[in-house]
Amino acid sequence: MSSSLKKYFDYLDKISELINQVSHALQNYIAARTAIRDYVINADEKHYAEVKERISEALSALQAAEPIVEEETLDNIRGFLDVIRKWGDIARDVHDGFASYREIIQTKILPNFSAVTQAGNALLQSAPASTIGIVNDVQTANVAVMGYLFDGDPNVAEAANQAFRSAKTKIGALKKSDKKLTAALKPFAAGLDAYAAGFLDAVKSRNKAYKMFREDLAPFGAEIQEDFEDFHAWLADMQKGIKDLKVLADHGKRGIPQVH
């Protein structure tokens, strides 16, 4: 048996273990991609907890692979470690972006939604003929705001902003035409401004978070998976070649003529 053939045989167990570790890393990475998608859809922290766990598992598998590989393959493993860490960092940014968006909903949208709705009802009771148009605009804005929070449709967001602008225009006109209503309109207008500003913050925050998810994380993640799969296929081919050589050598030991 040649020394080079013996060297290949010695590699067989190492290559098999390397394939196992790379496969484990790839499976965990794919699971992390699914989990971050579920987090974005469902806003459930358990999905992001899975992202962190899966990325940790993938990194551990690659770190376990480092001592197995030869120098020429070590760069591949370290490269995968770097890109998996980078993917995890972007996933964390996506998580933080959506967490910020949800905080704006809780602190700036929902409280102002309730306050302006109640103030609008009180305003309508005090001067129904003069304020009906303003209150209707606010109700239209409320429906659009809730619709946007449900599906993020930019057209619905624009409908909400149009309703806010219409209500503010009518408030300005009413202040000029009916000085008696100025005192009642002032706190209502301030509450409406805070509501509209909070909604604008929510739209910006959501857009930023989705941009990171769709334009930064998704394409980068697809590239990582493709590289992983190519490397895995290369290892599998190497393992098959070594096994084939071992079979030929075993046949030779049993007296079966080898084909030259």
Q: What is the pLDDT of residues 126-169, one digit of tens each?
A: 888 889 999 999 999 999 999 999 989 999 999 999 999 999 99
When mean pLDDT is compared across 118-122, 130-134, 238-242, the lowest value belongs to 238-242
Residue-wise pLDDT for 37-85, tens only, equals 999 999 899 999 999 999 999 999 999 999 987 887 888 899 999 999 9
Task: Return the minimum-mean-pLDDT range out of 57-66, 172-181, 247-256.
Answer: 247-256
- % of the chain exceeding 90 in pLDDT: 61
Amino acid at 213: F
Q: Other CB atoms closer than 10 Å to residue 242's CB: what's the count?
A: 21
Can you give the pLDDT at residue 72?
77
| Residue ranges per structural domain of the chain | 3-99+216-253, 104-207
Residue 36 pLDDT level (bands cut at 50, 70, 90): very high
Alpha carbon distance 248, 226 (integer Å): 33
pLDDT (average), residues 89-101? 96
Question: What is the CATH architecture assignment of 3-99+216-253?
Answer: Up-down Bundle (1.20)
Residue 177: both structure tokens together = 């035409």
Mean pLDDT of 197-220: 95
C-alpha distances out from residue 55 to 82, 84, 126, 138, 224, Å: 12, 7, 59, 46, 13
Mean pLDDT of 233-251: 78
CATH class of 104-207: mainly alpha
- Is pLDDT of 259 > 60? no
Q: Do domains 3-99+216-253 and 104-207 have the same CATH topology?
A: no
pLDDT band of residue 260 (cuts 50, 70, 90) is: very low
Is the CB of residue 48 less than 8 Å from the CB of residue 107?
no
pLDDT at position 210, please? 95
Mean pLDDT lowest for which of 27-31, 145-149, 178-182, 209-213? 178-182
pLDDT of residue 52: 97
Q: What is the pLDDT of residue 54?
A: 97
